[in-house]
Every structure is written in structure tokens, then in C-alpha cells.
């Protein structure tokens, strides 16, 4: 790694970048990562890990106030929001040092350079004045929250999902008594329920007629919407924003309907965009589309054959998703493909990607929706059952939610599963494994499940293909 030349130069240091660097090092190659913000990227520093830490804390507070069992008396749990943030920061620091920086200490073939990166030409990048040359390159700079064009937004203080960052000025350390959230996607729902459970008055404003409108089964959005409203989160649909403005120390959101929502703090959660602007991709011959996503082929090669891209920067190309495990898997694929002969390269496989929303109850999804299956030419059988038919849900006194199974009506091959219910983020992995190996409805029916578990929901949904599960005894088929 002398003279600033490496086998693999990686723009970024998140999960995608680390997976690529570690795999390259295993292959005996030298790799360097760049980082302009915090080593580890979004997931560990301001996304998955910190949000799930605080969501679980809010759950404990909520369950103390609202026990599911009538024989348990509710109680008020005292907490210090600032201290919760502090322990969250400690957790992030420990995790980052162990899982990310610790990996660097274990390999002599990996380095990291801090600073803003941009391509100088086809064979080099610059990081704060330092020229770094490489044989192969990987663009893995992730994504950043994007704010919509709303009149007045640039004149009022507002937060993005980066509010859960660590040791940065934008980190939220003081508890908001009231919060209005623009957007009805999964991040808005997770954070909205979390802050409500801590004690904020939360209003969610969604432009369409339903939250989780796109890419989800309509039953999922309706179920989650009803559950959150029943809990106390104020959800407004068809809420088209005219403008926002300051009101004293807070903000006001004016809607086209003439209504107005006021709150102490404003959170904008309307999506993310790839971090590809201003990094000189054109100097390396790398093309992007109209959304700023780097164009790639099935091997994750860009229009410049020696430059690869993976993770959030490729958006939903190749049926990918902006998710940490997807980027990590693809980063390893890039390292292998970058140093393989063309005939030995392997294409990425995004056909089975489980995903989850960590509201309570959780949402777990894998495969295609009914609408997507029909669009692909399948004659569909779709079965939806309420969680009240799952014995475990009744046993733990949480029958909220549903499960929907989508299958090809001619072959009975299962194409997709969507679940709203307790532990759905865990259960969905059984469905994902089944889809990966082409399981049929009968495979789910024949599978012996532990009783009582939430995973039985999959078996019961499959049984509904031929029988009414409401008329079965427990464990029956």
C-alpha cells in the first residue's frame, strides 16, 4: 500500500464498504475506504442500531403504562431522555469500535482515509488533497435523507432521521413535548410510535390516502394505521402541505385543506437519495440515472468496467433495496467480481430479501405482493388471516395484526408473505428461507411448528388455501 496505490479503492465506510474491504483482504488484496463523516456509515451510527435501541426502551415504558394483562396494574416508569440518548451513544461507540474499527486493526491490508472524496480521473480519487490510485473502485457512499420542496421549509428548524446520530450537532438530546412528522413511510412510523410512547404528542402527515401505500399489501398499511391510531398516534392521510412556518419556539404546518398542525418540533421523513452528487463520477466515466443512482449491470459493474457500485447508491435497480444486509452482501460480491475473470463473475441475487418495520406489532415482508404477482403474469391465490387465529397471539394477549400469503394458483408455489404481528421481524425469515428454495403451500402445511409460536401463522395461512382455519383445533391440519 505504498505510494497511495491500492488494489481496491472504496468510496465510503458503511456496511457495503466494510464487507468489500474484508473480502478483498481475505483474497490477499489491499483496500482503502474513505469517510467524510463517521466510520461505519448510517446503520450503526444513526440508523438501524440507535433506532432499535430507543424503540425498545419506549416499548418498556409503554408496556408499564399499558400492560396487556388485565390483572397487572399499570404504573408510571420514570426515565431521563437525555440519559437514554447517552447510553445509546455509548452502545454505538462500543459497537463501532468493536465491529468496524476493530476489524481494521486485525488486517494489514485495509486502511481508512477520512475526508471528502471525489474522482480525479479514471484511475484515482482525491481525499482532502491526497491522491489515491487504485486498480478497481467501489462506489458505496450510501444515501442521505431528502427533504421535499415545501414553501418555508428552509426557514424553519426541522429534523430528519439523522436525529438519532451520535455526537453530532443534529443529534436530538432534548425530549420534544410535541412532534409533527411529514411522511408516512416506515421510518416515520417507527419514530412516530417511539416518541409517542415516550410521551410526545405525535401527528403524522401522509400525502396519500394510506400509510405504507407503495410496495406493501394494502392490508398491511390499513392494519398498521388502525393500530397506531388506536394507540394514540394522530395520523392524517390525504394531507397535502401548503407551507410551513415558525410559531414562537415551534412550527406550524399549513395544509391545502386549510387545516393547520402545530408542534414543538418538525421531523421530515420523506425518503432518501443516493450520495452521488459532487463526487466526480463523470471523470471516471460512471453514469447515473435521473435519480442520481449509479447505473450497474447484474455484476454491479458501472459504465466504467473497473468501477463498481453497491448499496444505497444503486437504489432499487436489480430489485435491490436500500437496506444494510443487502449492501453488505453485495459488497462482498463486488470484491469477488472485481478480481475475477469475466467468465467467473457471479450476478447478484435480490429475488428474496426479507424486510421488517419495527413498529409494535412488527411488520415482516418477503417476496412479492398480490399486485406485483399479477403484474408478473401469475394467476394468484391469496390468503389473509387475522392474528386472532394464531394461538400464540391469544396466549400473549396481543392479537393485533394479520398475515397474508401470496401463491401461484396453478403450482401453489409461495411467492410472497406479509405479516403484521408480534415478532414478525423474526418469523419472516422462515418465509424467506422457504421462498429461497421454492416452497409450496403444502410445504408450509406439512412443516411441524413449535406450539404455540407466532411462526405458526405461516402454517395457518397456508391451511386456509383448502380449509377454514377458524374451525380447526390447535395444532390441527
Which of 419, 413, 375, 416 minimizes the C-alpha distance to 401?
419
User: Is the torsion defined by CA of 373, 374, 375, 378 positive or negative?
Assistant: positive
394: its cell numbers: 391469544
Place of cell 392479537: 399
d(CA 252, CA 266): 9
pLDDT in tens, the chain (477 residues): 445 899 999 999 999 999 999 999 999 999 999 999 999 888 888 999 999 999 999 999 999 999 999 999 999 999 999 999 999 999 999 988 888 888 777 788 999 999 999 999 999 999 999 999 999 999 999 999 999 999 999 999 999 999 998 878 889 999 999 999 999 999 999 999 999 999 999 999 999 999 998 999 999 999 999 999 999 999 999 999 999 999 999 999 999 999 999 999 999 999 999 999 999 999 999 999 999 999 999 999 999 999 999 999 999 999 999 999 999 999 999 999 999 999 999 999 999 999 999 999 999 999 999 999 999 999 999 999 999 999 999 999 999 999 999 999 999 999 999 999 999 999 999 999 999 999 999 999 999 999 999 999 999 999 999 999 998 877 666
pLDDT at 374: 97
Kind of pairing, strands 272-274 and 201-205? unpaired
Place of cell 380447526: 472
pLDDT at 468: 92
pLDDT at 2: 44
Burial of 370 (C-beta count, 10 Å sphere; 0-12/13-18/19+): buried
Write the DSSP symbol of residue 59.
Answer: H
Contact, 391 vs 456, CB < 8 A? yes
Which of 392, 364, 386 minimizes the C-alpha distance to 475?
392
d(CA 294, CA 341): 23
Upper half-sphere CA count for residue 31 (Cβ side, 13 Å): 31
Domains, the chain, ranges and CATH? Answer: 2-144+273-344 (3.50.50.60), 153-270 (3.50.50.60), 355-467 (3.30.390.30)
- CA distances in angstroms from 225 to 45, 184, 204, 212, listed in the order given: 29, 10, 10, 9
pLDDT at 476: 62
Omega before 361 within 30 of 0, i.e. cis: yes
- Radius of gyration for the alpha carbons in the chain, expressed in angstroms and rounded: 24
pLDDT at 3: 54
pLDDT at 1: 43
Amino acid at each position: 500500500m505504498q505510494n497511495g496505490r491500492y488494489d481496491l479503492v472504496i468510496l465510503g465506510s458503511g456496511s457495503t464498504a466494510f464487507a468489500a474491504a474484508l473480502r478483498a483482504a481475505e483474497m490477499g488484496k489491499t483496500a482503502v475506504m474513505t469517510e467524510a463523516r463517521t466510520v461505519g456509515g448510517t446503520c450503526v451510527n444513526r440508523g438501524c442500531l440507535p433506532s432499535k435501541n430507543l424503540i425498545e426502551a419506549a416499548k418498556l415504558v409503554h408496556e408499564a403504562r399499558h400492560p396487556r394483562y388485565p390483572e397487572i396494574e399499570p404504573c408510571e416508569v420514570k426515565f431521563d431522555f437525555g440519559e437514554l440518548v447517552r447510553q445509546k451513544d455509548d452502545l454505538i461507540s462500543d459497537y463501532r469500535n468493536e465491529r468496524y474499527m476493530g476489524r481494521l486493526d486485525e488486517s494489514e491490508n485495509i486502511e481508512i482515509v477520512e475526508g471528502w472524496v471525489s474522482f480525479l480521473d479514471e484511475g484515482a480519487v482525491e481525499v482532502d488533497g491526497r491522491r489515491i490510485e487504485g486498480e478497481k473502485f467501489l462506489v458505496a457512499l450510501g444515501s442521505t435523507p431528502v427533504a421535499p420542496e415545501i414553501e418555508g421549509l428552509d426557514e424553519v428548524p426541522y429534523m430528519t432521521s439523522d436525529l438519532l446520530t451520535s455526537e453530532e450537532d443534529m443529534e436530538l438530546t432534548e425530549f420534544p413535548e410535541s412532534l409533527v412528522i411529514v411522511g408516512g413511510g416506515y421510518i416515520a412510523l417507527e419514530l412516530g410510535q417511539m416518541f409517542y410512547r415516550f410521551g410526545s404528542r405525535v401527528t403524522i402527515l401522509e400525502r396519500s390516502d394510506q400509510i405504507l401505500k407503495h410496495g406493501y399489501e394494502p392490508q398491511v398499511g390499513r392494519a398498521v394505521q388502525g393500530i397506531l391510531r388506536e394507540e394514540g398516534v394522530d395520523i392524517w392521510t390525504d394531507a397535502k402541505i401548503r407551507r410551513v412556518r415558525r410559531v414562537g419556539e415551534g412550527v406550524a404546518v399549513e395544509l391545502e385543506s386549510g387545516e393547520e398542525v402545530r408542534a414543538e418540533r418538525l421531523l421530515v421523513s420523506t425518503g432518501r437519495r443516493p450520495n452521488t452528487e459532487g463526487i466526480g463520477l463523470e471523470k471516471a466515466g460512471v453514469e447515473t440515472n435521473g435519480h442520481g443512482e449509479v447505473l450497474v449491470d447484474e455484476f454491479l459493474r458501472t459504465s466504467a468496467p473497473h468501477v463498481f457500485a453497491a448499496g444505497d447508491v444503486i437504489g432499487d435497480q436489480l430489485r435491490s433495496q436500500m437496506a444494510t444486509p443487502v449492501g453488505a452482501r453485495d459488497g462482498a460480491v463486488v470484491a469477488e467480481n472485481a478480481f475475477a475473470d469475466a467468465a467467473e463473475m457471479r450476478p447478484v441475487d435480490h429475488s428474496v430479501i426479507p424486510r421488517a418495520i419495527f413498529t409494535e406489532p412488527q411488520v415482516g415482508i418477503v417476496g412479492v405482493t398480490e399486485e406485483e404477482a399479477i403484474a408478473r403474469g401469475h394467476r394468484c391465490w391469496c390468503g389473509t388471516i387475522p392474528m386472532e387465529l394464531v394461538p400464540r397471539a391469544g396466549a400473549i394477549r396481543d392479537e393485533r395484526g394479520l398475515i397474508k400469503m401470496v401463491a401461484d394458483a396453478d403450482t401453489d408455489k409461495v411467492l410472497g408473505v406479509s405479516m403484521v404481528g408480534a415478532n414478525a421481524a423474526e418469523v419472516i425469515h422462515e418465509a424467506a428461507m422457504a421462498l429461497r428454495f421454492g416452497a409450496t403451500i403444502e410445504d408450509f402445511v406439512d412443516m411441524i411448528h413449535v406450539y404455540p409460536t407466532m411462526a405458526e401463522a405461516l402454517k395457518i395461512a397456508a391451511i386456509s388455501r383448502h380449509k377454514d382455519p377458524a374451525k380447526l383445533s390447535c395444532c390441527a391440519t
